[in-house]
Structure 1
Amino acid sequence: MINKQLIERINQLARKKRTDGLTREEQKEQARLYEIYLDGIRGQVKQQLSRVRFVDKSKH
């Protein structure tokens, strides 16, 4: 689930990666957090798309 703490930790690790580099453990954590984030985004997109209805105006 995407929440504020997840985003904050992803951002912390991204900043550290740019400045100091990440340890092997942090790299694994970052990969895991990215996967959680992407799964959440995919779920949101699927949910949104499931609500989309197409209307053919030429039939009205």
Structure 2
Amino acid sequence: MDNGQIPQNLIDRINELANRKKTVGLTPEEKEEQKSLRETYLSIFREGFRNRIEMLQIYDKDGKEVTPEKVKNIQRKRGLRDD
């Protein structure tokens, strides 16, 4: 689950419950499980997305770095920048 990787078994179970909901419906326990799994999925997705965004360096067409200062500060705190 590191680096924002969403485990395949989590995705499979979410899909299984979604299909079951469409066909025969869900029990109250399955509805709670579905809610919990979706929250977990979103949490992992957001963490991975944030990590990718915070690793970006942006350059203009002339090759000058124009990465926002907020992102540069995050990168400095993580030890990813020397400046």
**TM bracket, shorter-chain basis:** 0.7 to 0.9
TM-score (ref. length: structure 2): 0.65
**Cα distance between partner residues in 2 of 1:24 and 1:4:** 24
Structure with bigger gyration radius: 2
How many pairs align? 59
Question: Could you say which structure has the higher helix fraction?
Answer: 1
1:15-47 deviations in Å (ceiling 9; x for gaps): 000000101000000000000000011011101
Q: Larger RCO: Structure 1 or Structure 2 (Cα < 8 Å, ≥ 6 residues apart)?
A: 1
Q: 1:12 to 1:58 in 2, by over 3 A?
A: closer
Show structure 1 runs of 5+ residues with no match: none
TM-score (ref. length: structure 1): 0.87
Alpha-carbon RMSD across the aligned residues, in angstroms, is 1.5
Q: Runs in 1 of length 4+ with deviation above 6 angstroms?
A: none
Who is 1:55 aligned against?
A: 59
